[in-house]
Structure 1
Amino acid sequence: MTDVRVPTLGESVTEATVATWFVKPGAAVGPDEILCELETDKVTVEVRAPEAGVLGEIVAQEGETVGVNALLATLLPAGASAAPAQSKSEGPAAPQPAAPNFQEVKMTDVMVPALGESVSEATVSTWFKKPGDAVAQDEILCELETDKVSVEVPAPVAGTLREILAAEGETVAAGGKLAVMAEGAGGAVAAPKAAAPAAAPAPAAGGKDVEHAPAAKKAMAEAGLSPDQVTGTGRDGRIMKEDVAAAAAAPTPAPAPVQTTQVSIAPPPASVPRAPVPAEDAAREERVKMTRLRATIARRLKDAQNTAAMLTTYNEVDMSAVMDLRTAYKDQFEKKHAVKLGFMGFFVKACCHALKEVPEVNAEIDGGDIIYKNYVHMGVAVGTPSGLVVPVVRDADAKGFAQIEKEIGALGKRGRDGKLTMQEMQGGSFTISNGGVYGSLMSSPILNPPQSGILGMHKIQERPVVVNGQIVIRPMMYLALSYDHRIVDGKGAVTFLVRVKEALEDPRRLLMDL
């Protein structure tokens, strides 16, 4: 007898609710077949059979709350070989002839690849192949979208795409199964499998066998919506919490009074219900679902405001010395190092210099502790078509101008092409954001948690300034340091910004470590 237990649910998630059991006691199951679905406050997790067998006793019923590694059910040894085929079809007889075909060719699972540290799930963005299509080894099958990057999933073997298990828009866990491939010539048997998902929604339409997510039921009760007013996007038409939010926000005459009631009882914490829109305006609008990247950017920025005691201090810097230095050495620099000498290298070196004197700007708060970092992993914010990403130049304090400029250029290009990996965007200890490339003259950057500081660069603009009692025209830039006042005092923040200013106005200080 084998125990079926609650899998790891992700960082900081310790319990889940049993949402739906897809298999009944006594039913035969195959290895890796989905037994039930758990719902946490962040994601829906599928629990699969660890091996072939017969489902014994269900210990945790639907609606019960279970902890990590808790016992869900027991799995008995497999009985007759015909049982799994009968269990999987559950009604329509069409899939049954497919069983012998499965054994004629070698089947290979297409799995969700490693998504990176602290990333436990992704959304299936696009399938480039359909069931029955022949694919070559390493040919791209689909694209997954995580909170930070897009991940391409290549074919593990050459053959035929047999079955797609996770449709576009579905959320999948790291290590989960995306599809099944038949090695070699398997196209002839792929067509019957492709028809199986189409037949599944028929009984679900009646609402008899579909158990909606518990969080969705609660949200519908609060919003005054019935299941027939909400379009479910989960498995077999199952209504998820996001579906209820979308239905409540839809600009239709019926939900309008419901939204008013919702506001008076419990207004949503992160958004304000949309006011009714005239029909002529609604016809000219376009509603597009947020990408995971954009939703994560929005959530993290708001979390930073809610968590940190964020404050911004400003200064300005005369860029004459840096510009003169670039003009004098840019040709020699590019000839020797095969990379252009930009402004970002000077700012990275200046910040590394200042962080040594004010280490709390390079630290972070972890519960009741302060973690001081004896290194500088410099995050450099890059704007991409999908949104803002922050690749990291590791150990920037130990690198020279040429290496820093090369890494920033390479990371920026990979970011714009959507090729950054999770490892390239994790572990930053301080961030520089350059709004000046877009023409920004002044801004207050928002922290990138759990970091305690971020420097905002801005547009270089010639302005009249007083130097030695004389009014002269100089290329000036405003600098902004946003910092977490819980760990960085005003004195430290001002000192940091002054040290950056001094290093940029006299780059020789960087050589002399002054």
Structure 2
Amino acid sequence: MATDVTVPTLGESITEATLGQWLKQPGETVKLDEPIASLETDKVAVEVPSPVAGVIGELVVAEGDTVSVGAVIARITEGASAPTSATPAVEDRTAVGKAEAAAPPEPAAAPAGAATPAGYGNHGEVAVGDSPTLSPSVRRAVLELHVDPSKIKGTGTDGRITKDDVLLAAKSGQASAKAPAPAAPVASAPQSSTSSTSPDRKEERVRMSRLRQTVARRLKEAQNTAAMLTTFNDVDMTAVIEARAKYKDLFEKKHGVRLGFMGFFVKAACMALKDIPSVNGSIEGDEIVYHDYCDISVAVSAPNGLVVPVIRNAQDLTVAGIEKTIGDFGKRAKDGTLKMDEMKGGTFTISNGGVFGSLMSTPIINPPQSGVLGLHRIEDRPVVRDGQVVVRPMMYLALSYDHRLIDGREAVTFLVALKNAIEDPTRILIDL
């Protein structure tokens, strides 16, 4: 008996997704609720679980196809055992930008169990028949670091390979792989193509992910809609650095998480937002919405682009609670397991470009929010203190805001309040 696998509900207002990767191929056995495919939505990657235990029979759609909620994407034969070989049902598709005149005739589709050199398939993708099941983020790490997944011992659930496993293997050099050799096409839609006019001049075309398309659209909408302006200030990080150095070991021992700078900045931002409520507000039609809570969006780097999960009611959390939440977001962003609900809402955003070495930037607001705080790298600079020139660890702060709602005076007052709290962390403790 065959059971249809359908696209699950993806969240409010999301009606379609892109099939990013098949985690199982025809002929492979699958357990109940075991992930068989990964879908890319406008916000996060969503894994599709198997509704029954059995054997994958037919893949109805190919990687890269757009699918709607409720659409059938595969069929599973219940209770069957895996055959010795199976032929994928989805036909290979020609790569975009392929040089037809120079291309040899297309070979027939290879069976799912066919061997492929060094654990790679067509277009440098991981060959399913020769390597363990890989999530999108893990597959990308494998390709970028040139490691052979078949030589990596997975530490994840059911022995699945995690991104940390790939990074460790690449660092140790024990799973290095040669560059992928030409191979017969696998049964999936290629995500990229490479063309060249000479050995030293190559070009690669990669389809934009649904997440990247959404980010691009929303950022441009923000520029077109809001009257954006950016105000700068700098902050002396001496007190926070000293507090962190003094208590980081005890903090980690008690709370199980490292003490970073974001905990201080989120708490300081909540205090400043309370004093300047317009920075925490938004415009809806001809009305201004003021929030008496602080849902802080934190920009987190993920394999497919920037994602912005939300720390709910950050004003009620301790520094430890904030650090735990951010740490969890960062880990799950890399694994591609953030949930839809964790990406919704948010009244104010903090983006820390300093971790990548940024000195100064003008961040773009995240609609319908009206403000975003940009943090930058800490570097020693000469400043004047009590009439003396001294060297202090300084950081530039940038507040981009919607000038339709927030006046320059309010923006400057917000940054000064934030600066005062960071330079004298005791203010955070006594709510001053």
1:496 to 406, 409, 414: 414
Q: For 1:167 and 1:294, locate their aligned partners in 2 and report how far apart those are by CA, in whole Å.
A: 20
1:396 to 314, 318, 322: 314
Q: For 1:313 and 1:337, locate their aligned partners in 2 and report how far apart those are by CA, in whole Å.
A: 36
Q: For 2:265 and 2:348, locate their aligned partners in 1 and report how far apart those are by CA, in whole Å.
A: 12
Gaps of 5+ in 1: 1-105, 199-276
1:156 to 48, 51, 60: 51
Shift of 1:280: 5.1
Shift of 1:191: 7.7
The Cα offsets for residues 435-480 of structure 1, whole Å up to 9 and x where unpaired, read as: 1111111111111111111000001111110111111111110000
Shift of 1:289: 0.9
Residue identity matched to 1:137? L
Pairing 1:324–2:219 present: no
Q: For 2:248 and 2:221, locate their aligned partners in 1 and report how far apart those are by CA, in whole Å.
A: 41
Q: For 1:470 and 1:187, locate their aligned partners in 2 and report how far apart those are by CA, in whole Å.
A: 78
Q: Which residue of 1 aligns with 2:137?
A: none
The Cα offsets for residues 368-399 of structure 1, whole Å up to 9 and x where unpaired, read as: 22111111111111112221111111110011
The structure that has the greater radius of gyration is 1
Q: Which residue of 1 aligns with 2:62?
A: 167
Structure 1 residue matching 2:4: 3-state secondary structure: strand
| Structure 1 vs Structure 2 CA RMSD | 2.5
Q: For 1:173 and 1:162, locate their aligned partners in 2 and report how far apart those are by CA, in whole Å.
A: 21
Choose 320-329 or 441-450, whichever is displaced more. 320-329
Question: Does the 8 Å CA contact 2:7/2:48 hold for their aligned counterparts?
Answer: yes
Q: Which residue of 2 aligns with 1:269?
A: none
Query: Normalized against structure 2, the TM-score is what?
Result: 0.72
Pairs within 5 Å for 1:110-259:
110-185=5-80, 194=89
Q: For 2:430 and 2:29, locate their aligned partners in 1 and report how far apart those are by CA, in whole Å.
A: 63
How many matched pairs? 330
Pairs within 5 Å for 1:475-514:
475-514=393-432
Pairs within 5 Å for 1:272-287:
279=197, 284-287=202-205
**Residues 389 and 193 of structure 1, relative CA distance in 2, 3 Å threshold:** closer
Question: Does the 8 Å CA contact 1:162/1:186 hold for their aligned counterparts?
Answer: no
2:341 to 417, 423, 427: 423
Question: Does the 8 Å CA contact 1:117/1:423 hold for their aligned counterparts?
Answer: no
Q: For 1:150 and 1:292, locate their aligned partners in 2 and report how far apart those are by CA, in whole Å.
A: 10
Q: For 1:187 and 1:340, locate their aligned partners in 2 and report how far apart those are by CA, in whole Å.
A: 46
**Residues 338 and 135 of structure 1, relative CA distance in 2, 3 Å threshold:** closer
**Residues 192 and 334 of structure 1, relative CA distance in 2, 3 Å threshold:** closer
Residue identity matched to 1:144? L
Q: Which residue of 1 aligns with 2:226?
A: 308
Q: Which residue of 2 aligns with 1:382?
A: 300
1:443 to 337, 355, 361: 361
Structure 2 residue matching 1:296: 3-state secondary structure: helix
Q: For 2:416 and 2:399, locate their aligned partners in 1 and report how far apart those are by CA, in whole Å.
A: 11
Question: Does the 8 Å CA contact 1:448/1:454 hold for their aligned counterparts?
Answer: yes
The Cα offsets for residues 127-156 of structure 1, whole Å up to 9 and x where unpaired, read as: 233344432223322111111211111211
Q: Which residue of 2 aligns with 1:361?
A: 279
Q: Which residue of 2 aligns with 1:333?
A: 251
- For CA contacts below 8 A with separation 6 or more, give which structure has more relative contact order: 2
Q: Which residue of 2 aligns with 1:463?
A: 381
Shift of 1:168: 1.8
Residue identity matched to 1:148? K
Aligned-residue sequence identity (percent) comes to 60
Q: Which residue of 2 aligns with 1:11?
A: none
**Residues 323 and 158 of structure 1, relative CA distance in 2, 3 Å threshold:** same
Q: For 2:282 and 2:59, locate their aligned partners in 1 and report how far apart those are by CA, in whole Å.
A: 43
Q: Which residue of 1 aligns with 2:208?
A: 290
Structure 2 residue matching 1:287: 3-state secondary structure: strand
Shift of 1:488: 0.9
Question: Does the 8 Å CA contact 1:162/1:187 hold for their aligned counterparts?
Answer: no
Q: For 1:350 and 1:131, locate their aligned partners in 2 and report how far apart those are by CA, in whole Å.
A: 54
Residue identity matched to 2:256? A
Structure 1 residue matching 2:203: 3-state secondary structure: coil
Q: For 2:256 and 2:92, locate their aligned partners in 1 and report how far apart those are by CA, in whole Å.
A: 54
Q: For 1:462 and 1:390, locate their aligned partners in 2 and report how far apart those are by CA, in whole Å.
A: 30
Residue identity matched to 1:421? K
Structure 2 residue matching 1:420: 3-state secondary structure: coil
